[in-house]
Amino acid sequence: MDRKQLVGSLLAKANKYRNFARWVGDWETAQRISMLAEELKQRARALAMPNENRIRKRAREIWEENDRPVGRDEEFWFQAEREFREADDLARESRDET
């Protein structure tokens, strides 16, 4: 599962829980579910935030998944950056919706 899918999955769960909380009759339970939904959204945003170490680690994973070819380091670096950028865009879209 790539970073965008992981972020998307967390955001989908957060939205599901937030919607579920609206139907719960007990105020305290609804608050706890809402807090869980917010925590999931925060985790998704944190996972989506790129930094050089995370990009490097993901680029290495991609390199290893492709049987460690020589001379394709930039390709894998750019792919890792793109995955983080897409995940970050998804997290930003969810932030704008709330």
pTM of the model: 0.69
Please state, in angstroms and rounded to a whole number, the distance separating the CA atoms of residues 59 and 75.
Answer: 9
Query: What count of residues does the chain have?
Result: 98
Count how many domains the chain has. Answer: 1
Q: Which residue range forms the structural domain that includes residue 92?
A: 3-97
Instruction: Give the model confidence (pLDDT) of 55-71 as tens digits.
Output: 999 999 999 999 999 99
Q: What percent of the chain has pLDDT over 70?
A: 95
Give the pLDDT score at 47.
84
